[in-house]
Structure formats: C-alpha cells, structure tokens
Amino acid sequence: MNEIKYPARINKYLAHKNICSRREADKLIEEGKILINGKPAKLGDKVNENDSVTTKADPKEGHVYLAFNKPKDVITHSPQGEEISINEVISFSKKVFPVGRLDKDSHGLIILTNDGRVTGKLLSPEHDHEKEYVVRVDKPIDARFVRKMASGVVLDDGQRTKECKVSKMSTNVFSIILTEGKNRQIRRMCGFFGYAVTDLRRTRIMNIEMGGLKVGQYRKIKGEELKTFLSELGL
C-alpha cells in the first residue's frame, strides 16, 4: 500500500489507517465523533503526520482490544482485487480494525480494536513504542551485520532509521526491536547490506506478546495487560 502524503484529508487518513471507509468517515465527522487534536473535525479538514486523531466511542459498544496472529498473504489495508483482508479471516462480534500494518509477506502479532484513540498514540513518530520481530535472512549473519543494523541504516529514500536493538539468534536468524515503523523497514534495512528476508514474524508490540497464539487465532487483551498497554499509551 502506498504511503499517505501529508497534509491529508481527514477521511482519507482514517481510511488509510483502516479505521473506516471514507464514506463512513464523513458520517462520523458529521456526527461529531472524530477529533483532531481534541477538537471536532469538519468535512474537508486536513491532518499532518504529528496531529492527534481520535474517535469518540459509542457508549453502547464499548472498546475491545484483540491480539491477532496474522497469517502470511493477509493484508492490513483496504483490499484491492483478490487480496485477502483481515476481516475475511477473523470473525468477531464487533467491528474492529488493525492498528498499523504488517505487510502481506510477513506474519505475527497485530492489534485489532474499535478504539480509534489507539492508532494515533501507538503510531505517532513522537513516541518510541517498541515492536519486536524475529527475522530469517538468506545467508549467515555476523557481528558486523548486527552492529551496523543496530546503529541505523540510510534507506533507499534517503531516510535514516533510528538506532535499534538487534540480537543474533542463530546462523541466519536475528531479533530486532524497533521504535518506528517505516514502510517495509526491516526488509529495506537488510537489503542495504545485501541480505534478503526469507521470513519475518512480529512477536511483540509494547507489552503485548503473541505468546502461544496459533496462526489465524486471536485473544482478548484484558486485565493488567490491557491496563499497562493503555497506561503506556497515555489513555
């Protein structure tokens, strides 16, 4: 899915973040349920990357938070053509949307919710929320690769990645903890050093771990786990 260009119309932003369709966004805006930096949005408003965009929950619905083990070949954005979306592989009583993205070729943990506050808080570049991955590449890695990956990489678009934590797990497998989420970032970082990713699995988002979830399964996030998650987001 293409990166969104800022400033972006609020309905396009909400659709890009998988919160709702553009038509649904316009309806929510008219109902006063979309806030930009704490103020009610108006039709046609534009947002910048660092703006806080939240939705007011319907008190009859309540918020729900799910940890989902996304299979490969399932997309987290709006489907095009024959693409398979998350909503086609998960059955839940309330409408939920994925927070952030995990590309089609990757698998592992993604958070699903109907709480629009979470998206801005979790994905904002102003915050350093950790996401952990286990990555397999096509050839052996060494100490230099680990050190260089951890120190930051200049990507093909000229952007430099933040420093991160990288640990070798086996001959061609490593773990990496990021505090940012550039498009296909890990694959592009590996490509800079001449490596191709053969498997990429996300295992943790902040304090939420995938644990024993099988591929395609989900569980509710609740209790102390949820309390800690929301507290760290400032909610």
**C-alpha–C-alpha distance, residues 112 and 86, integer Å:** 10
Query: What token pair was written down for 118?
Result: 């979470």
| Catalytic entry in 45, 58, 103, 115 | 103
Q: Exposed/middle/buried for 118, CB within 10 Å: 0-12, 13-18, 19+?
A: buried
> Count of CB atoms within 10 A of residue 125's CB?
12
**C-alpha–C-alpha distance, residues 177 and 234, integer Å:** 21
| CA 145 centroid distance within chain | 26
157 is catalytic: no
> Count of CB atoms within 10 A of residue 224's CB?
8
Catalytic residues: 103
